[in-house]
Amino acid sequence: MMLKKDMTIKDLQEHIKKIDFHPDKKHEVVLKLFEEVGELSVEMRKEHQDGLSDVRKQEIKYELYDVLHYVTHIANIYDIDLEDAIIEKDKINEARYDDRRNNDD
């Protein structure tokens, strides 16, 4: 399955599950997530020091995908529907942090 521009979160979850699913390696998967977050922070630090070039922006984009990949992999390991998780948690956050949200409506 090739990912397409108009994919859904569910599409991404299914894609990641097909190409990378290792429920027996939870610890290794979360360590990979930490590694990718570290790589993202390195790219962001470089941007802070040197400014945002097209190359740096592309590197940040790729590191964001890697982070998303491992977050999705973890959701798959625990059989968590990310669309449901996002909707449920957003409702909780709305009630909890209503005073901090942008209310431009």
CB proximity list for 101: less than 8 A, separation 6 or greater: 94
Residue 65 included in any domain: yes
Full domain range(s) for residue 55: 24-89
Query: Based on the structure, what is the number of domains in the chain?
Result: 1
What is the Cα gyration radius of the chain? 16
pTM: predicted TM-score of the whole model, two decimal places: 0.86
Does any domain span residue 103? no
In a domain, 64, yes or no: yes
Structural domain includes residue 14:
no
pLDDT by residue for the chain (105 residues), tens only, comes to 678 889 999 999 999 999 999 999 999 999 999 999 999 999 999 999 999 999 999 999 999 999 999 999 999 999 999 999 999 999 999 988 876 766 655
CATH of the domain at 70: 1.10.287.1080
Q: Is residue 11 part of a domain?
A: no
> Is residue 18 assigned to a domain?
no
